[in-house]
Structure 1
Amino acid sequence: MRNLDIATLRSLQAVAEYGAVTRAAESLNMTQSALSMQMKRLEEIFGQPMLMKQGRGVVLSDMASELLVEARKLVAMNDRIMSRFTGERPEGRLRVGLTSDWLLDKVAQAVRAFREHNPRVELIINDGNTVDLRKQMKNGDHDVILTTEFEAPPGAIHLAKLDLIWVGAIGGTAWRQRPLPLANSPRCAYYPVGIAALEQAGIEWSQSVGDGGCEAWRMLAAADLGVNLQVAGIALTGLETIDHGGALPPLPPTWLNAYVTDGPARCLASDFACYLRRAVNEVAEVAAAAA
Structure 2
Amino acid sequence: MSRMNFFFWLFLLGSGMCQESAIPVESPVEFPVESPPFIVQQPSTEEVLFFSGEGFVLPCEATGEPTPSFTWFKDGEEFDLGPTNDRIFLQPGSGSLVVNDTEKEDAGHYQCFASNQFGTATSNSVFVREAEMESFPEVEKATVEYAKIGSPFNLTCSPPHGYPKPEVYWIIKNTYYRPATLKNITDPRITTDPENGTLFFSTITEEDKSKDSFYYCASYSAVSDKFTIGNPVYLGVYPFLIDPATVYDRSPDFLYVTKPHVVALKGGSASLWCIPSGTPLPKVSWIKKGSPLPPGIEYLNYGKTLKINNVDFSDEDRC
TM-score using structure 2 length: 0.23
Larger radius of gyration: 2
Higher strand share: 2
If asked which structure has higher relative contact order (CA below 8 Å, sep 6+), I would say 1
What TM-score do the two structures reach when normalised by structure 1? 0.24
